[in-house]
Amino acid sequence: MDYDVLIIGAGMSGLAAGIRLAYYDKRVCIVEKHHRVGGLNSFYNLRGRKFDVGLHAVTNYVPKGVKLTPLPKLLRQLKLKREDFALCPQRVSAIKFPDKTLKFNNDLDFFVQDVVDNFTAQADNFQRLLKTIFEYDELNLYAKPISAREVVGSIISDPLLIDMVFCPLMFYGNAQENDIEFGQFVIMFKGIYCEGFARPQAGVRQILDVLVRKYRSCGGELKTRCAVTSIQAANNRIESVTLDNGEVLTANRILSSAGYVETMRLLSNYDPTGIEDKAGQLSMVEFITVLNRQPAEMGHETTIIFYNNSDRFDYRNLTS
């Protein structure tokens, strides 16, 4: 075997998996089809400026000293130093619907107060929702999936408040149309409202540099500009992987971060039945405007504004 583990994709999940495997002395190779790492959270330069691809804020931000939440756990499991990410916490973000605006920052109490100020009749219900969220074990992998709209709808009786609370969580963590699984809702609620947003000083490339350096220092191999064109499978086992340059690699295990459908399509014995219909229904389109002054100079202090200009929050594919 060429490697103990072959990882397809040098995005954050591929790199993180690579770090842990390489650290524990596995022979690991990450193959990445692009010339740069990062995948859905990558970066590029255009006309002398640096841009990031994908979501622009890191969720789950907590100040130094807070334990047990995902960020410190992640840093510990990857043996990284907090300072290396150089995270700048947000000031305040907003959810702007036609009739109301809610603000939130990295302090949950601030958000709760704004919800109570804007939806006085829902004050007690909102506290009950918080209690339900804190009592739910969102990390239980064996939990039966439940609809978040159903759970939240049984506690909050104002549909506008529900839509507004859901809005940022959907954009940041939901690949499903209209509804979100409740466990995922709790994960996103905690990550965004209870913990918070931040950005690395130099953008996502800062985080990616740290991950790649760590991975390499643990002995991991990284091949960019190496696309997997096919995965040789037989009798329920993977035998080898073929790259676009014709090279064939063997490994005891293959981890793919290319996506379920995308990975299955690479199999030499690929049968599309029951797989193609699992392809994602939602995409993001991004427009970027470059300003010639700081937003603060124009009186703009908000980090992220989540807009919805319809009566209801319609999180779905335009054609469905």
Partner 1 sequence: MTKEEIKSVLMGIVAEIIPDEDLTNLKDDIPIREQVELDSMDFLDIVMELRKRYSVEVPEDDYMQLATIDSSVAYLEPRMRDL
Binding-site ranges for partner 1 (CB under 8 A): 24-25, 67-68, 72-73, 76-77
Kindly state the tokens that stand for 271. 């049968």
**Closer to partner 1 at the Cβ: 72 or 89?**
72
User: Are residues 188 and 169 in contact, defined by beta-carbon separation less than 8 angstroms?
Assistant: yes
* Minimum CB–partner distance for residue 5 and partner 1 (Å): 14
Amino acid making up residue 227: A
* Minimum CB–partner distance for residue 25 and partner 1 (Å): 6
Q: Which of 119, 138, 156 is nearest to 195 (CA)?
A: 138
**Closer to partner 1 at the Cβ: 71 or 264?**
71
> Distance between CA 43 and CA 27 in Å, rounded?
28
* Minimum CB–partner distance for residue 173 and partner 1 (Å): 21
Going across the sheet that includes 237-243, the strands are: 228-234, 237-243, 248-249
C-alpha 133: how far from chain center:
20
User: Are residues 114 and 124 in contact, defined by beta-carbon separation less than 8 angstroms?
Assistant: no
**Closer to partner 1 at the Cβ: 98 or 219?**
219
**Closer to partner 1 at the Cβ: 82 or 223?**
82
User: Are residues 200 and 207 in contact, defined by beta-carbon separation less than 8 angstroms?
Assistant: yes
* Minimum CB–partner distance for residue 16 and partner 1 (Å): 12
* Minimum CB–partner distance for residue 23 and partner 1 (Å): 8
**Closer to partner 1 at the Cβ: 140 or 235?**
140
